[in-house]
Structure 1
Amino acid sequence: MLALAGTGAMPFTLNLAAMGNAAAQNASDYKALVCLFMTGGNDHFNTVLPTDSGSWNEYQRIRNTGGTGSIALPGVGATGGVLPITPNSPQAGRSFALHPSLGPLKQLFDAGRVGIVANVGTLIQPTTLVQFKAQSVQLPPRLFSHNDQQATWQSTQAETTATSGWGGRIADLVASGNSNATFTCISSAGNALFLAGRTVRQYQISGTSAAPITKLNESLFGMPAGSNPLRQIITAEPTNLFQKEHAAVVARAINSQAALSSGMLAAGSGVPDPTPYINPNTGVATVNPLAVQLQTVARIIGGRSALGARRQVFYVNLGTFDTHDYQLTTQADMLAKLAHAMAYFDGVMGNLQGANMRNQVTLFTASDFGRTFTSNGDGTDHGWGSHHFIMGGAVKGKDIYGSMPVTGLGHSLDVGSGSLLPTTSVDQYGATLASWFGLSATQIADVFPNIANFSNRNLGFMNAA
């Protein structure tokens, strides 16, 4: 890939051993953040569910519309029913469960390596329902729009004005600690606004390895003498400024691919292939594309010493969760992929080349928005706040952070059709992760400009660095 450049061109011959030694001296200080974005807007009401009798009765009344269009899940103990969880910090009079497809995630929650953050969403400042209806405070632009809310979640800025993402801005502040800044931000799901830095450029990787420019080290059209001239042609430094920049990008891409491939090759044998996941609707075993993305992330983490990396930010993607129709079957399949991939990644991090990396790698979920509580007939429409998972050995797991909203309609957080007014901002969510990553309060304020509007700037779901 050509748009993979870091800062400055590297020499073609890379001294990987020297880079590895530099990183190995600080191996215990390695940390990685992995953003798992659920594109389309996941229905959180069927992901984490209050199951105390009052909440469950109201859930069934609203979501069990009867017939094939019902979007209600079976209760605890029923065949295919929701899976009960017991948080360490009880919320008075309430009990909770996970979607039936989240069995592997329930095991991680029970083991204390997964936590839940309730009702997270895009906010500029704390907002009440009265303020929302009166439009008396500043609100995120174009709420309920996919593109706009994806941009706001990933950047804390509107789509039309966003030039950097908060993952990229975090990377800007830590890249100098890496011997090679090129591999600070890595996406295995194409170009991601989340990883766009002010100075750091994201490296995009497709599939399980870095794609090379072919025929640079072998014969060209059957002529062995053709390979070296090809390299000279595509990396030559012409006088035309456009051509000069293009050649510089190509040269960086060639060098980056060589370095990343070497690092991943060294880690490859220590990262097993994901097992097939089972589609809960059909019973068919197949490849989970999200697990494959996380396998690539694991291989890059495994090659951290060769890549000279001490801090890395990753982006993976699963979609689409835009369940206007066929919600029960579509979401069951998507959440099965989510849980299978997260459990696979947790297992790999628990024994990566003989080392337990769980304490040093934190994965968190994000999504465009939540969805409405009411059904549109066979699905749900665009909402606002939603519940999210954080996973890793440094997570204070087996708990729910923030207050789980009242189940029903017409309450103090219902902005329409049961869509939730968020009680936790994306800025608070991200700032908590950034603090664990090692950023100071001043740096966090630079990454999250809106954080000054919130009194609680650390949600407490991470253990101290």
Structure 2
Amino acid sequence: MQTDISSRRHFLGKMLALAGGSSVPFTMNLAAMGNAAAAGATDYKAIVCLFLAGGNDHFNTLLATDSGSWDEYRRLRATASTTSIALPAAGATGGVLPIAPNAAHGGRTFALHPSLRPLKELFDAGRVAVLANVGTLIQPLTLAQYKARTVALPTRLFSHNDQQAMWQSSQTEQAGGAGWGGRLGDLMASGNGNAAFTCISNAGNALFLNGRSVRQYQLSGKEALAINKLDGALFGAPAAANPLRQIVTGDASNPFQKEYAAVTARAINLQAALSGAMAGAGALAEPPPYINPNTGVAVVNSLAVQLQTVARVIAGRDALGIKRQVFYVSLGGFDTHDSQARNQADLLAKMAHAMAYFDDVLANLQGTDLRKQVTLFTASDFGRTFSSNGDGTDHGWGAHHFIMGGAVKGKDIYGSMPDTGVGHDLDVGSGALLPTTSVDQYGATLASWFGLSATQIADVFPNIGNFNTRNLGFMG
């Protein structure tokens, strides 16, 4: 009997996720905290997580280009000419793109991957910042402590599934539970006119958006998907005689059937509400053509389409009565063990193209500049090794990430830029970085801008109390 009950709960939980459902808050304390946070949410704010699935090679994303760093970079990454992952110098054809952070970094200079020109322009304009060497940590850690295993370490380092889970939830994949984006939503949902639209994914079911009470609403492509054939002609019967809606939503005496019908009816109503709000907000400019830097061929940028849909949802915020939202989008393919030079060039170009498009759309969304109210940040499984395996790189740990928005204190690099190469005091093997900033600190800084108090931030990020610095300063 217990197994049957558990199976039913699991099934209904899945249905609620598809329906964008929200269950009863897990404690009265959480509800009270959420009400307090939402009470101050008089304006609109949104956080967008852009997850680079597979583990982006940050060492070719942001590079140190002062002479000592560059020489070491070329020594370790310039392998055989046909497989080299080393990028050309600034000024050369296809060379790296120099950037000039506001803060001095001990005489070091920096550049971005040549595919990131749109992002360089946003960085120069002050709407993009870089957070250096951030990764999964439970507490501050030295190389000696890591080697001796004398302090707590994240479980199953260098594993895709586990490190994705740690980034998105501060727990391993096996632990399950709630993601920190979902926990943010828990605390803010009560201030929204419809809590079902607090956490929205346009990249499938995301652990990041799992809440303790709020469940994510899932989009697909450009739309909130409807149930097929619900209102039209069905098996030759005219639309007026279509019985499908009554079949899937009709009342029943069986408790399980009754609950299934209620969840389905709720899903239908939510889809209609969201689609209506998106349509009522009007059309948005389509993403400009994306040109593959390797082939010169124009293709559809799926990430830009995801962000276009996010912008359409944001445009419908007033119709839905929404004050705070957390979104999740994703771009895959970053596990570049081989063919890295070619594959990463395309992936980073897609990322920069999509982010620049999103910035342009938000600059004039229904006649309003919403860039100060929407912050996008990147995340990934982990960084990669500095040493080349011949044609690519292998799994690492710490990595560099981007934050974009009008509220970002841009044109700067936050955190601690590591030495270039291998064998330094942050090298855990082959140049893989021991992080100097934790994901909890990264998220806590965003959460503070979002409107959470120190107490609420500690509830969302269970390890934040282990770190002296809780706000990294990259948000205005």
Paired residue for 2:453? Answer: 440
Provide the residue aligned with 1:389 in structure 2: 402
Q: Tell me what 1:102 maps to.
A: 116
CA deviation vs aligned residue, 1:129-167 (integer Å, no higher than 9, x gap): 000000000000000000000000000011111211000
- In the TM superposition, 1:121-136 aligns within 5 A as 121-136=135-150
Q: Which residue of 9, 22, 28 corresponds with 1:7?
A: 22
Secondary structure at 2:132 match in 1: strand
Aligned counterparts of 2:19 and 2:267: Cα–Cα separation in 1: 6
Q: Identity of paired residues, percent?
A: 73
Deviation, 1:8, is 7.0
Contact 1:6 1:183 in 2 (8 A): no
Cα distance in 2, alignment partners of residues 27 and 298 from structure 1: 20
Deviations 1:39-66 (A, max 9, x none): 0000000000000000000000000113
Structure 1 pair 227/183, CA: closer, same or farther in 2 (3 Å)? farther
Q: Say whether the 8 Å CA contact 2:51–2:328 is kept in structure 1.
A: yes
CA contact (8 A) 1:291 1:340 kept: yes
Paired position in structure 1 for 2:37 = none
Q: How many angstroms does 1:244 deviate by?
A: 2.4
Deviation at 1:242, TM superposition (A): 2.7
Mapping for residues 35-434 of structure 1, pairs under 5 Å: 35-224=49-238, 227=241, 229-269=243-283, 271-434=284-447
- Give distance in 2, aligned partners of 1:84 and 1:225: 61
CA distance in structure 1 between the partners assigned to 2:181 and 2:241 by the alignment: 38
Q: Structure 1: where are the runs of 5+ without partners? A: 10-25
Contact 2:290–2:298 at 8 Å: present in 1 too?
yes
Contact between 1:215 and 1:227, CA under 8 Å: does it hold in 2? no
**In the superposition, relative to structure 1, how do residues 227 and 344 fare at CA in structure 2: closer, same or farther (>3 Å)?**
farther
SS of 2:20's equivalent? coil
> Aligned with 1:29: secondary structure?
coil
Q: Deviations over 1:263-321 (max 9, x none)?
A: 1101232x111011110101111110000000000000000011111100000000110
2: CA distance, partners of 1:321 / 1:238: 48
Shift of 1:227: 4.8
- 1:59-86 CA distance string (max 9 Å, x none): 0000011321211000111110000000
Answer yes or no: is the 8 Å Cα contact 1:217–1:227 preserved in 2: no
Aligned 8 A contact 1:218 1:227 in 2: no
Per-residue deviation, 1:28: 6.6
| Cα pair 2:198 2:325 within 8 Å, conserved | yes
**Structure 1 partner of 2:48:** 34
Q: 1:382 to 1:211 in 2, by over 3 A?
A: same
**Is the Cα contact below 8 Å between 1:358 and 1:394 reproduced in 2?**
yes
Q: Against the structure 1 CA distance between its residues 123 and 27, is the aligned structure 2 distance closer, same or farther, given a 3 Å change threshold?
A: closer
Q: Which runs of 5+ in 2 are unaligned?
A: 1-13, 25-39
Summarize deviations over 1:218-258 as a string: whole Å, max 9, x none: 33334336556321210123233332232122111100110
With over 3 angstroms needed to count, the CA separation of the structure-2 counterparts of 1:249 and 1:429, relative to structure 1, is same
Aligned length: 447
Q: Distance in 2 between matches of 1:225 and 1:47?
A: 54
1:264 is aligned with what amino acid? Answer: M
By how many angstroms is 1:7 displaced? 2.8
Normalised to the residue count of structure 1, the TM-score between the two structures is 0.94
Look up the SS of the partner of 1:364 in the other structure: strand
* CA distance in structure 1 between the partners assigned to 2:255 and 2:139 by the alignment: 45
Deviation per residue, 1:8-40 (Å, 9 max, x gap): 79xxxxxxxxxxxxxxxx997000000000000
